[in-house]
Structure 1
Amino acid sequence: MSARILMLCVLLATALAGCAGQTRIDDRFAASLSDPYRLGSGDQLRVVVFGQEGLTNSYLVDAVGNISMPLVGTIPAQGRTPQEIERAVTSALAGGYLRNPSVSVQVETYRPFFILGEVRNPGKFTYVDELTGRRAVAIAGGFTPRAVERQIEISRVVDGVVMEARVPIDYPVLPGDTIRVLERWF
């Protein structure tokens, strides 16, 4: 009798483990990978005003989501693209400071990503291009012995809403994402 119960438990655990590997990613979450990059707190911008060395500099998007520049003051950056900031700075400078200003804005340093859970060194890390869950885990020192190694959970702000999804380990990670490496039960 106990052998049958044990066999039934093993079969049930195997069936449940097969279901755990299946993921359904929300369409908006997946679409965020192809959307234009939106700025957020912690991004470092390089603003070049051609012919105006005093205005050309690096500017940090502050905790409120703004950048502060000489002459033009505070410019809202949170949720905007670098091209939108470029137009805003150009417009502000043309409003009485410069004739026909030529401005270029690029992201110099992306905001960090965060990783927690079953990794050796959880914390905040500098974002690098083409980051995936697997690379993020490597940056955080690798998996602990109890880690689920095939999938991760990512929290990401999409259209102003925090969304979470369980994704394969090689899924792309964006700046500002929070990754959670899950703990396995067996």
Structure 2
Amino acid sequence: MLAIVRSCATVLVAVAMAGGVVLGQTSPPSPAQRSTPDAARTASPGEPSLEIGDKLKISFYETIDVGAAKQGSRDKSEPQGVLRTFYQRTDLGGDYTVEPDGAISIPMLGRFAVQGRGLEELRADIAVSFMSMMGRSANIEVKIAERAPVYVLGAVKNPGSYKHVPGMIVLHAVALAGGLDRGESNLTSVIEGVREMERLRSATVQVKQLLVRRARLEAERDGASSLSVPVQLASLGGEEAVAKTFIATENTILRAEQARRMQQVREVASKADSVRNEVEALRRKLEQADAQRDMRLERLSDLQKLKDKGWVTSNNVVTLRTELSDIEARRQDYLVEIAQAETRLADAEEAGPRLSSEDAANLAKAIAAIDREITAAQETMTSAKALATVLQRTSSVAQAEGYEIVRQSREGPQTFQATETSSLMPGDVLKVIAKTTSAVSPSLLGPAPQSEPPQNRTYTLNER
């Protein structure tokens, strides 16, 4: 009995020194989980194949047969057979990651190519290597602790990495990434794009109207009967009917303004003629008064001589002097009226040139103001076009056009085309290639026209 105890103690010490006894283990792993050199060399149907980046958890349970004896009597013992026990080799077990070359390295056992292989196949290879190196069999457990994620990028709502699951295909990954990005999240950009396009259209119409108005002002300044169509209208594009409407409206305004100015000129001329006739009439009256005064003075001289001789009375002389006084008063009134009429005549004669100079100055100011408005409207067109172009790029609606998969291999990354039902492996990079449709119409993003600078021509104040 003592010999049996000593033998068991020796075995336990040896086991503890080799790798540590598995305490509390009541039974070894199931024989169905053991790997033998005769194990299948291919993955079982439905069994995942190993890929680069997979993290494996490998456990080793070494098999030890311990001899036992049976007690035949008190003084001697007889052999009873073999006692099989297991202990875990913690020096070999642990986590192993499939390296970029598709292999793992286990201390003392060497390197094992695992990419594309099944767990049972790898388990069998490790068991054979263990038997060869240690001279004893072992039960090997190989589990996949963690698999590399699948990376999704491109025209999806939520690009990123996602956990790989067995049987994963392209549609699964796209669904995990939130589906195709069809532009629903860019609603704000679409609305802003529409606003900018409306601002661009409004600015374009404003520039057209201002260009035609400027042509009308130039026609008024030059005295033309109709305005010339600006050449910049052709570069603005848009509906031709709108430009024709502006031209017809400005032509009507041009004719009305010319008629108003002609009426003003006629009124000024008529007023000048009237004052001129008044001056001439007053001068004729003054001449008549002068003639009457001369006649009265000559008669007064004759009466004075007759009075001195006593032939006439002094009453006759007084009466004649009174008449002379009245004539002189009327004469002075005529002189005052003539002076006033001549002043009015001078004002009337100056009204024509003054009206022309005022019209020329007003037209020059109006043309300068129109030029500033055209410049501001063209700047609005430029900014609206730039913003609409940017929003056109950011508010595009995506439609799936194809898929590409980038997969690591022993030779390095490889790219190949895929379909919606193509299988995905751990570590794959799925690129969703999108075909975009702009939410902003590019036909309206034509170049903003630049107005021609006014010619350096000097106009006199009387030029019409």
- What's the TM-score bracket when you normalise by the shorter of the two chains? 0.5 to 0.7
Establish whether residue 179 from structure 1 lines up as the match of residue 216 from structure 2. no
Taking the aligned partners of 2:106 and 2:398, their CA distance within structure 1 comes to 45
* Contact residue 51 and residue 425 of structure 2 kept, 8 A: no
Q: Give how far 1:53 is off.
A: 4.3
Taking the aligned partners of 2:99 and 2:181, their CA distance within structure 1 comes to 34
Q: TM-score, normalised by structure 1?
A: 0.63
* Residue 41 (structure 1) aligned to one of 52, 57, 60: 52
Q: Give how far 1:81 is off.
A: 2.7
Tell me: CA distance 1:148–1:62, structure 2 relative to 1, closer, same or farther (3 Å).
same
Once the two structures are superposed, the pairs formed by residues 95-174 of structure 1 within 5 Å of their partners are 95-145=132-182, 146-149=397-400, 152-155=403-406, 162=414, 164-168=416-420, 171-174=422-425
Taking the aligned partners of 2:422 and 2:113, their CA distance within structure 1 comes to 31
- Which residue identity is paired with 1:144? D
State the SS of the aligned residue for 1:185: strand
**How many aligned residue pairs are there?**
152
- Which residue identity is paired with 1:76? A
Tell me: CA distance 1:153–1:107, structure 2 relative to 1, closer, same or farther (3 Å).
same
Q: Give how far 1:178 is off.
A: 2.7
Deviation per CA, 1:38-65, whole angstroms, max 9, x where unpaired? 3222011122222324033221112232
Per the alignment, residue 110 of structure 2 pairs with 73
Taking the aligned partners of 1:43 and 1:66, their CA distance within structure 2 comes to 10
* Contact residue 159 and residue 177 of structure 2 kept, 8 A: yes
Taking the aligned partners of 1:69 and 1:83, their CA distance within structure 2 comes to 17
Taking the aligned partners of 1:166 and 1:141, their CA distance within structure 2 comes to 19
State the SS of the aligned residue for 1:95: helix
Taking the aligned partners of 2:99 and 2:408, their CA distance within structure 1 comes to 17
Structure of higher CA gyration radius: 2
| Identity percentage of aligned residues | 27
* Contact residue 150 and residue 428 of structure 2 kept, 8 A: yes
* Contact residue 147 and residue 182 of structure 1 kept, 8 A: no
Deviation per CA, 1:68-106, whole angstroms, max 9, x where unpaired? 223323323233332232122112211132511121323
Of 103-112 and 145-154, deviating more is 145-154
- Which residue identity is paired with 1:48? S
Tell me: CA distance 1:154–1:35, structure 2 relative to 1, closer, same or farther (3 Å).
farther
Structure 1, unmatched stretches of 5+, are 1-33
- Which residue identity is paired with 1:167? T
State the SS of the aligned residue for 1:85: helix
Tell me: CA distance 1:98–1:46, structure 2 relative to 1, closer, same or farther (3 Å).
farther
Taking the aligned partners of 2:58 and 2:415, their CA distance within structure 1 comes to 31
Taking the aligned partners of 1:68 and 1:157, their CA distance within structure 2 comes to 19
Q: Give how far 1:183 is off.
A: 1.0
Taking the aligned partners of 2:112 and 2:418, their CA distance within structure 1 comes to 36
Per the alignment, residue 31 of structure 1 pairs with none
Taking the aligned partners of 1:163 and 1:183, their CA distance within structure 2 comes to 17
Per the alignment, residue 88 of structure 1 pairs with 125
Deviation per CA, 1:22-43, whole angstroms, max 9, x where unpaired? xxxxxxxxxxxx7864322201
- Which residue identity is paired with 2:97? L
Q: TM-score, normalised by structure 2?
A: 0.29
Taking the aligned partners of 2:141 and 2:431, their CA distance within structure 1 comes to 36
- Which residue identity is paired with 1:184? K
* Contact residue 52 and residue 408 of structure 2 kept, 8 A: no
Taking the aligned partners of 1:45 and 1:59, their CA distance within structure 2 comes to 5
* Contact residue 155 and residue 165 of structure 1 kept, 8 A: no
Tell me: CA distance 1:167–1:96, structure 2 relative to 1, closer, same or farther (3 Å).
closer
Structure 2, unmatched stretches of 5+, are 1-44, 62-86, 183-396, 438-464
